[in-house]
Amino acid sequence: DRRDDATVAIDDLVLVSNRQPYRHEYDDGKVTVDTPVGGLASAIDPVMQRTDGTWIAWGDGDADFDVVDGDDQVQVPPSDPAYTLERIGLTDYEVRGYYEGYANQALWPLCHTATGRVSFETDHWEQYRDVNAQFADVVSGHVDSDTTVWFQDYHFVLAPRMVRAAAPDAFQMQFFHIPWPAPDVFRLCPQSEAILDGLLGNDLLVFHTPRYCANFLQCVDQHCDGATVDWDTDSVVSEGRTTQLAAIPLGVDAPTIRDTVAADDSVAWAQFRARHDVGEETVAIGVDRLDYTKGIPRRLDALERLFETRPDLRGEFTYIQKGAPSREGIPAYQRLRETVEDRIRALNDRFGTDEWSPVVYTTRTLDRDVLYSLYRHSDMAIVSPLRDGMNLVAKEYVAAQVDSDGVLLLSPFTGAYEQLGEAAVAFDPYDTDRAAEAIERAIEMDDAERWRRMRRLRRAVHETDLAWWLDEAAATADDVRESRTH
C-alpha cells in the first residue's frame, strides 16, 4: 500500500523553511503562540507531528525567546509536543539582504516573470548566500545517511549543494511553491548558474506543475555546461549524481474545510454582513496577500468596467476583498497596498449609494472558520493572479462549496488553472473587457451549470488534497531513493 510506504519515507525528517510554523512571544513570563498566515507552514505541520523530526526555520528576529528558553530549540506544538523546532536568528542586515533583498526582490519577481520588478544587488546576493550557508551548517549537524532533508521554496536554492558537500549520503529533496520561469526570463539572472547548481544538489526537485518542471529542465539545458538533461525521465545528471524532477500540485485540507463549513451555523457570515452593510445581493469574494502577483488592481479594473457597462448591477452585486498585508519592508508592497486602497475608495465614491458600496475591503485577521464561512456563502470567488505557482485560495473556496452552488473565476496563469482547468470560469487579468464579462457570466449562470462545474472542481480538489500531496511527495521520494540503491 502506497500510503504505508510513504509514511516510512518521512520517518527521519529534517524540514527547512523560511517561515516557522509557530511563533512564540514571551511577555512577562506569559507565552503566547501564534501560527502565521500562509499555506506552507500550516500544510506541513501535521506531517511533522507524525514524524518526531526537526524543523529548521528563521526565528524572525524576535530575540526574547532565546533568553527564556536558554537555547533556540523548542518542542512543538505547545499543547502536545511532537517534534523539535530549531530557529535560526538573523540580523536586520541579513534579513534585508537575504529575505527582502535577494529572495523577494530578485527571485520572487524573476520566477513570476515580473521582469520589470527584478533587482539584483551584489550585497543582497552575498547575504542570501551566507544565510543559505548558515542553514546548511545547522542542517548538516542533524543529518546521517537515513535522514531525509526537505527544503521548502525559493529561500534555499543554494543550501542543497552546500549540505551535499558536508553530507554526501543524505537524501535531499525540495519543493518549490512558486513558478519556474522560461529560459528566456531566467537568463536575466546574473547568478543563474550558481542557482541551478545549488538546486541540483537535491536528489528530488518538485514543482506544482509539469510546465514548471519543463521550464527548469530547459534552463539547465541552456545554462549549465556540466549538467545533462534526460528528457525521457525528467532528470538531470550533474557531478555524477542524478536529480529527479516531479510535478506534484499542492492541495488543501479539503475534508477539514468541508466539515468545518458543514458544521457552521452561518452566524459568522451574518455578523460579517451586518458589520459591512452587505445585504441580500450577489456577493463575490477575493482573498489575497497584498502582493503584486495577485492581480488585485486588474480585478478592480474589471469591476469598474462591469459597473460602467451594467449600471443595473449597482446595489445588486458586491465584491468583498479580504487582504493580508505582506512584505511591508519592501517599497513595491507598500505602494501596492496604497494603490489597492486608493482604487477601492475611488470605486466606492464613483458607484456607491447611501445604502450600498460596490467593494467591501478588510485587512482584519479572521479565524479560519470565519474565512471558510465567507467562502461558503459567497456566490463566486475571483482569483486573478498575473502568475501564481498554485493558488490555494481557489482550492479552499472550492472545498468550502458544500452546496456546489458557487462559481470559481480563475486566472489561466495559475498552477490551479493548469490543474483544474476549465471547470473554472477563465478570468483573464490582462483583458479587462473579457474579465468583466466573466463576472457577468458568473452572476447570470444557471443553477445546473454552476452545479455541474462545481461538482467537477470539488472532485478534483478532494482527489488531490493535502493528504494526497503528502503521500505523493513521500512515495516519490521513496521511489527515487530505491532507484539509487539498486
- Where along the sequence are the contacts to ligand ADQ (CB under 6 A)? 37-40, 177-178, 250, 287-289, 322-324, 371, 388-393, 396
Nearest to 297 by CA among 307, 286, 308: 286
Rounded to a whole number of angstroms, the minimum distance from the CB of residue 400 to ligand ADQ is: 11
Nearer CB in complex with ligand ADQ: 115/233? 115
Q: C-beta of 17: minimal distance to ligand ADQ in Å?
A: 11
Q: Which is nearer to ligand ADQ, 38 or 297 (CB)?
A: 38
CA 473 to chain centre: 16
User: Nearest approach, Cβ of 396 to ligand ADQ (angstroms)?
Assistant: 5
* Three cell numbers written together for 234: 525528467
The three-class DSSP label of residue 231 is: coil
47 vs 138 by CB, closer to ligand ADQ = 47
Q: Say if residues 124 and 93 touch (Cβ distance below 8 Å).
A: no
Phi, psi of 303 (to 5 degrees): -65, -40
Beta strands in 208-293 (DSSP E): 227-230, 235-238, 241-247, 282-289
CB of residue 21 to ligand ADQ, shortest distance in Å = 14
Least Å from the CB of residue 296 to ligand ADQ: 11
Burial of 168 (0-12, 13-18, 19+ CB in 10 A): exposed
| DSSP state for residue 95 in the 8-state scheme | I
DSSP letters spanning 18-32: SS-S-EEEEETTEEE
Give the residue with the Cβ less far from ligand ADQ, 315 or 412: 412
* Shortest Cβ 361–ligand ADQ spacing (Å): 11
Give yes or no for a contact between 392 and 252, defined as CB atoms under 8 angstroms apart: yes
**Smallest distance from the beta carbon of 73 to ligand ADQ, in angstroms?**
26
CA dist 373 → 110, 138, 207, 263, 457 (Å): 35, 41, 30, 10, 18
Quote the cell numbers at residue 214: 519543463
